[in-house]
Amino acid sequence: MDYKSLYKDEDFGEILFNQLLKDYTTWGIGGPSDVLVKVKSKEQLQNLLQFNHKNNIPTTVIGRGSNLLVTDKGIRGCVLLLADNYDFISVDGNKLTAYAGCKLNSAALFAIENFLTGMEEISGIPGSVGGAVAMNAGAYGKEIKDLCLSVNAFDYFGNEYNFTNDQMNFSYRHSKIFDDNLIVSSATFNLTYDENNEAKAKYEDYTNRRASKQPLDKKSAGSTFKRPEGSYASKLIDECGLRGYAVGDCAVSQKHCGFIINKGNATSEEMLKFIDHVANIVYEKTGFKLEREVKLIGEK
């Protein structure tokens, strides 16, 4: 398909071709996209989805590229990027609305600047509001479901939906977004007025905790595995003597065993094999089955 001719007269924001997706993922892994589009508004997002559907072009959404392992062959069709190009934030009273591409950290800081509290615990989760809402991300005892008031979303035909918290089917690392194959456009969070001016100190405390415990300076996708019932992935991996264990450029972090890092130029195939290898060792030694939390996307 001649994508350059097909998209040349369309106004969907910034349209790029043959982009290496390793440049758009926190793991630094991923082959080329046929088309990559950076929409700038909800109208452009809806128009792009309708256009792709009409022209039978598959659409794949990525946010800030965390929690993703893109295959070495890349992604066929159109990659819809929701990152800095789609990160508007606003506050109305104690309600904060953030577009899908907004960093959770930016949303938390914006809340603090507007004398609101509630997002400090989740402020250090890597990635975007859209991805966090889709997977009901959480940290330090708080999840998106505890804060989310409503979600604006689209399906891949370009139809728009609005959901309340109760309609989102939030559960551990799961939501209606996955159930119905939807795309988060924005989310509104119900926060609390920071009457005692404590939010900044709490934010700094959680930020320092993460910096001391997590390999924030390394290329990772965040936590690699889901939490197994009855234990923790990082604890099990450490108990199996795998702290710092490496094969090529794939390695278990020395700082936090729940993070698998790319030390240089690991491929998707290498990383996937390494993840499975670590999980197999843990299963053989402990009986716990580790399930990959990181989502694999792209041409197999």
Work out how many domains the chain is built from and give that number: 3
Q: Identify the CA nearest to 94 among candidates 186, 193, 169, 203.
A: 193
pLDDT tens digits along 138-169 = 999 999 999 999 999 999 999 999 999 999 99
List pLDDT tens digits, range 69-120: 999 999 999 999 999 999 999 999 999 999 999 999 999 999 999 999 999 9
As a whole number, mean pLDDT of residues 224-228 equals 93
Helices assigned H by DSSP within 91-185:
104-113, 129-134, 176-179
Asked whether the beta carbons of 278 and 242 are under 8 A apart, the reply is yes
Strands lying side by side in the sheet with 75-81: 14-17, 33-38, 75-81, 59-62
Q: Annotated active-site positions, please?
A: 173, 223, 293
Query: Which residue type occupies 209?
Result: R
Q: Is residue 208 part of a domain?
A: no
Position 209 in a domain: no
Least confident residue range of 63-67, 237-241, 266-270? 63-67
Q: Looking at residue 106, which CATH number applies to its domain? A: 3.30.465.10
Triad 20, 23, 24: Cα angle to 5°: 100
Q: Looking at 42, 59, 84, which one is the last position of a domain?
A: 84
Q: Are 133 and 175 in contact (CB under 8 A)?
A: yes
Q: Are residues 132 and 29 in the same domain?
A: no
Q: Which residue has the tokens 């369309």?
A: 10
Domain that holds residue 17: 3-84
72 and 115: one domain?
Answer: no
pLDDT band at 193 (very low <50, low <70, confident <90, very high): very high
Whole-number Å distance between alpha carbons of 257 and 236? 9
Question: To the nearest 10°, the Cα dihedral for 92, 96, 101, 102?
Answer: 110
Answer yes or no: pTM beyond 0.85: yes
Residue 81, amino acid = L
Residue with tokens 């046929």: 34
> What count of Cα atoms within 13 Å lies in the side-chain half-sphere of residue 130?
26
Q: Is 210's pLDDT higher than 90? A: no
